[in-house]
Structure 1
Amino acid sequence: MSQAGGMKPERLDAIRSHLYANGFSTIQQLADSIGASLATVRRDLQILEREGAIDRVHGGAQIAEGSSVELAFQERAKRNLSAKRAIATTAYELLSPRTAIFLDAGTTVFQLARLIRINPLPLRIFTNGLTVAQEFLNIPNLDVVLLGGQLRSENASLVGPQAEAMLETIWFDQLFLGASAISPDAAIYSVDSAEASLNRCMLSRSAHRFLLADASKFGTMATYKVAPLAETQVITDANLTAQWRNQLGELGVKATIVSAGVEA
């Protein structure tokens, strides 16, 4: 049965989800998975390839490495999970009771939020992440403030002029920031202009600024520049290449390299 035109977004989502969950898949496997014809899948793959979401290889497709098209938050949160948890554990050890911190909406920062939920400290926490804020429901000793603003569904975050105006009245002891990409020119990038702008505001309002980014983010590109990497202290995992370790040293960027456990 042919697919209705209105079903295209659902098919594209289904293809992305299948490729994320199963890795490289043939066109036939994708067609069987989503219940579409081979010709329909080929057309959909062309669209996803133009968007940068997938790579066409060897008679099939796979999720693009360093893609600037964001997957759903829940799917992205699963990527490099052991590395993200190790990075979050190191970040947690930097927290001091009775201080003000900002947690952005990134998936690695989300793992830090989970640690705070499990082992609460008396903290004043500000965030623009809906999933981050939800971790703190009914947790004692936490004073949690969620920024207002425009909802950005792709990252379950709040952005825009209202959020930026709120930041201008607040000062944080520590900022924990994620990144869509860390480019070869050693700058932090985002796939969204409003999020990049808000991230710049976060950096300007924080005494100590930590970038939580697993090694897969290094050497990738996204569209909107946030700031030079040198404006932050980096916490990443042991998969970081020797070239990047040397580059961070040459830039004078303080970097903590953590060992990750076996991927669950």
Structure 2
Amino acid sequence: MFANERRIQITEMLNRRSSVTVNELTDTFQVSLETIRRDLEYLEKQGALKRVHGGAVTVHKMQNYISLSSRVSEHREEKRKLALASLPFIHEEDRIALDTGSTSFELASLLCERFSRLTIVTNSLEVFQILSGKEGFQTVLTGGFYMPGEKTFYGHLALDMIKQLHVSKFFLAPSAVSLDFGISDHIHEMIAVQRALIAISDQIIVQADSSKFETCAALKVCDLNPRFLYFTDSGLPDEIAEAYRKAGLQITKC
């Protein structure tokens, strides 16, 4: 097999999956380790992949916006696992903030089951409705202009209110996470609220299922930060998780 043909096949493998290992490539193509390393180095220079320890990962893919009504049913089991993994970081009488979106819906439901006294700040009407019937919870809805499609509040009124508050933890549920581009999402008005909630929080816990890693949404929320905790599900390839750890990031597969 010629080198160009082999490199095309490696690229096709990465288009179907998010990562490949050097060992599986040597087995697949029956060539030496050095040959595969040269292939990966060449493909990285062409912008076709990103080399990591032990293999390569896909370069970040652009995500299309998906409506909230569709997102609710996507990766439901993985989102519940992320919510469960977050519970040990929450304590009775904590003051926390929850992002908008379907991952936060799962966490809000679990909070009602597991805790008696919490203060929760959110700009999500759906999260507020889940929490509002729980006796002993103090739920703070930011208010502001309302975005029906996302069932969320935004704008300067929401931002002004958030600036008056302080929370111990913010559970951020973005659309995409990438080593190169950072944390990103689709809607400008929602990103402004996410940034404001980051600013008032002592600790940031990023909840992103494995499908969101090494992808990019249209707009950047912030850079990846070693102080943040990153929770994902077991579907994230080990090669990608290791690349994040080597970058000094605290990533946990649930």
Shorter-chain TM-score tier: 0.7 to 0.9
State the shift of 1:156 in Å: 1.3
- Asked if structure 1 preserves the Cα contact closer than 8 Å seen for 2:119 and 2:137, the reply is yes
User: Aligned equivalents of 2:82 and 2:62: distance in 1?
Assistant: 20
Measure how far apart 1:184 and its partner are. 4.7
The one of 118, 122, 126 aligned to 1:127: 122
Note if contact 1:66-1:217 (Cα within 8 Å) is conserved in structure 2: no
2:199 to 195, 204, 222: 204
Q: Which runs of 4 or more aligned residues in structure 1 lie more than 3 Å from their structure 2 counterparts after TM superposition?
A: none
Q: Equivalents in 1 of 2:192, 2:165: separation in Å?
A: 16
Is residue 214 of structure 1 aligned with residue 209 of structure 2? yes
Q: 2:63 aligns with which of 60, 67, 70?
A: 67
Equivalent AA in structure 2 for residue 169 of structure 1: Q
Which of the residues 78, 86, 98 maps onto 2:81? Answer: 86
8 Å CA contact 1:70, 1:154 repeated in 2? no
The aligned residue for residue 245 of structure 1 is 241
**Equivalent position SS for 2:80:** helix
Matched-pair contact (CA < 8 Å) for 2:168–2:201:
yes
Aligned twin of 1:188: 183
1:216-264: CA deviations, max 9, x gaps? 0112221110011225211110111223212211221111210xxxxxx
Partner of 1:86, secondary structure, is helix
- Give the conservation status (yes or no) of the 8 Å contact 1:68–1:221: no
What letter matches 1:144 in structure 2?
T
Amino acid at match of 2:239: Q
Scaled by the length of structure 2, the TM-score of the pair is: 0.72
Per-residue deviation at 1:154?
Answer: 2.7
What residue ranges of structure 2 are gaps of 5+ in the alignment? 1-60
Percent same amino acid among aligned pairs? 26
Q: How far does the alpha carbon of each residue in 1:8-58 deviate from its partner, in whole angstroms, 9 at most, with x for none? A: xxxxxxxxxxxxxxxxxxxxxxxxxxxxxxxxxxxxxxxxxxxxxxxxxxx
State the Cα deviation string for residues 45-104 of structure 1 (Å, max 9, x = none): xxxxxxxxxxxxxxxxxxxx9632222x23211111111111101112211111210011
8 A Cα contact 2:92 2:115, kept in partner: no
Matches within 5 A, 1:106-185: 106-185=101-180
Q: 1:117 to 1:81 in 2, by over 3 A?
A: same
Cα gap change, 1:203/1:226 in structure 2, threshold over 3 Å: closer, same or farther? same
**The residue matched to 2:202 in structure 1 has which SS?**
strand
> 2 CA distance for matches of 1:221 and 1:238?
20
Matched residue count: 193
Q: CA deviation at 1:160?
A: 1.2
Q: Matched residues in 2 for 1:250 and 1:219: separation? A: 15
Residue 80 and residue 248 in structure 1: after superposition, are their counterparts in 2 closer, same or farther (change >3 A)?
same
**Matched AA of 2:204:** R
Code of the aligned partner of 2:134: I
Q: 1:190/1:245 Cα in 2 relative to 1: closer, same or farther (>3 Å)?
A: same
1 CA distance for matches of 2:132 and 2:143? 17
Cα deviation, residue 109, structure 1: 1.6
Q: Which residue identity does 1:126 align to in structure 2?
A: V
Pick from 221, 237, 247: which aligns with 1:226? 221
* Residues 88 and 166 (structure 1), Cα distance of their counterparts in 2 relative to 1, 3 Å cut: same
Deviations 1:119-163 (A, max 9, x none): 233101110111101101321110001001121223211111111
Instruction: Give the TM-score taking structure 1 as reference length.
Output: 0.69
Contact 1:123 1:142 (8 Å CA) reproduced: yes
Give distance in 2, aligned partners of 1:142 and 1:207: 20
Decide whether the 8 Å contact of 2:98 with 2:171 is kept in 1: yes
Q: Which runs of 5+ in 1 are unaligned?
A: 1-64, 259-264
Letter in 2 for 1:181: A
RMSD: 1.6
